[in-house]
Structure 1
Amino acid sequence: MIYRLFQRRDFDDLYAIEEICFHPPQRFTRRYMRQLIASADAATWIAEQNDLMAGFAIVEWAQQITGITAYIATIEVLPQHRSQGIGAELLRRLEGSANAERANEVWLHVDAENASAIRLYERAGYGKTGRAEHYYARNRAAAIYVKNLV
C-alpha cells in the first residue's frame, strides 16, 4: 500500500469511495468535499494499491484560544480493504499532518454504533469525551473522541 497526499486528479476516485462508504444524509456533497480538500487548513491522505485508491482521510485544523486544534473530518476505506491496517495508517498520517501544524489535540465524531472505528481510535490513544445525539441522523448519535498531541 502506498500513502500519499491528495492530488487534484484524485477527486473522482475519492468521491466514488465516499459514495460507497456513506449514504445520504451522512454523505458529504461533492461541493463540500471539494471545499474541504481545497482548504489551506486541511490535509487529505490517499491510500492506494496498484494505482487504485483503497481509501482516504481528511484532517483540518484551526486556531483556538488554547492553540491549534485539529479535527478528523473523515477516514474512509473501501470494504474489500478493511481490516488490513489501512485506517490505522491513514490515522497516523493525519496525526502527522496535525503535528506539523503544531496542533495541541485532534478530535473527531464517530458513529456511536461503529464498533470497529471506535476500536481503531481507542487503540490509537483517543479517549471518549462526549456524545452528540442525532448527529448523523434522527436517533443516530456520534461519540466524540479526543487525543492530546503534546
Structure 2
Amino acid sequence: MNYRLYEYDDFDDLYAIEEVCFQSPERFTRRYMRQLIASQETATWIAEENGRMAGFAILEFIRQVAPTVAYISTIEVLPIQRGHGVGAELLRRLEGSANAESATGIWLHVDVENASAIRLYERMGYRKNSRANHYYARNRPAAIYVKQLV
C-alpha cells in the first residue's frame, strides 16, 4: 500500500469512496467535500494500491484557539481493504500531519455503533471524552474521542 498526500486529480476517486462508505444523509456532498479538501487548514491523505485508491482521511486544523488542535473529519476505507491496517496507517499519517503543525491534541466524532472504528481509535491511544447526542442523521449519537499529542 502506498500513502501520499491528496492531489487535485484525486477528487473523483476519493468521492467514489465516500459514496461507497456513506449513504445519504450521512454522506458529505460533493460541494462540501471539495471545500473541505481545498482549505488551507486541512491535510488529506490517500491510500492506494497498484494505482487504485483504497481509502483516504481528512484532518482539519483548528487555530482559533491557542494552541492548535486537530480534528479528524473522516477516515474512509473501501470495504474490501478493511482489516488490513489501512485505516490505522491513515490515522498515523493524520497524527504526523498534526504534529508537523504543532497541534497539541487531536479529536474526532464516531458513531457509537461503529465498533470497529472505536476499537481502532482505542488501540491507537484515543480515549472517550464525551458524547454528542443527535449528532448523526436519524438522531444517532456520536462518541467524542481525544488524544494528546507530544
TM-score by length of 1: 0.98
Letter in 2 for 1:8: Y
Q: Does 1:149 align with 2:149?
A: yes
Q: Which residue number in structure 2 is paired with residue 104 of structure 1?
A: 104
Query: Unpaired segments of 5 or more residues in structure 2?
Result: none
Letter in 2 for 1:27: R
Query: Unpaired segments of 5 or more residues in structure 1?
Result: none
Considering only aligned residues, what root-mean-square deviation do their CA atoms show, in Å? Answer: 0.8
- TM-aligned CA deviation for residue 25 of structure 1: 1.1
Q: Deviations along 1:42-100, whole A, 9 cap, x unmatched?
A: 00000000100000000010114341010000000000000000000000000000000
User: Which protein is richer in strand relative to its size?
Assistant: 1
Give the distance between the partners of 1:139 and 1:44, measured in 2 at CA: 28
Letter in 2 for 1:32: Y
List structure 1 runs of 4+ shifted beyond 2 angstroms: none
Q: Which residue number in structure 2 is paired with residue 58 of structure 1?
A: 58
Letter in 1 for 2:23: H
Identity within the alignment, %:
72
Q: Which residue number in structure 1 is paired with residue 35 of structure 2?
A: 35
- TM-aligned CA deviation for residue 139 of structure 1: 3.1
- TM-aligned CA deviation for residue 15 of structure 1: 0.1
Count of residues in Structure 1 that have an aligned counterpart in Structure 2: 150
Q: Which residue number in structure 2 is paired with residue 67 of structure 1?
A: 67
Give the distance between the partners of 1:129 and 1:63, measured in 2 at CA: 21
Q: Classify the secondary structure of the residue corresponding to 1:110.
A: strand
Give the distance between the partners of 1:4 and 1:22, measured in 2 at CA: 23
Q: Which residue number in structure 2 is paired with residue 19 of structure 1?
A: 19
- TM-aligned CA deviation for residue 24 of structure 1: 1.1
- TM-aligned CA deviation for residue 137 of structure 1: 1.4
TM-score by length of 2: 0.98
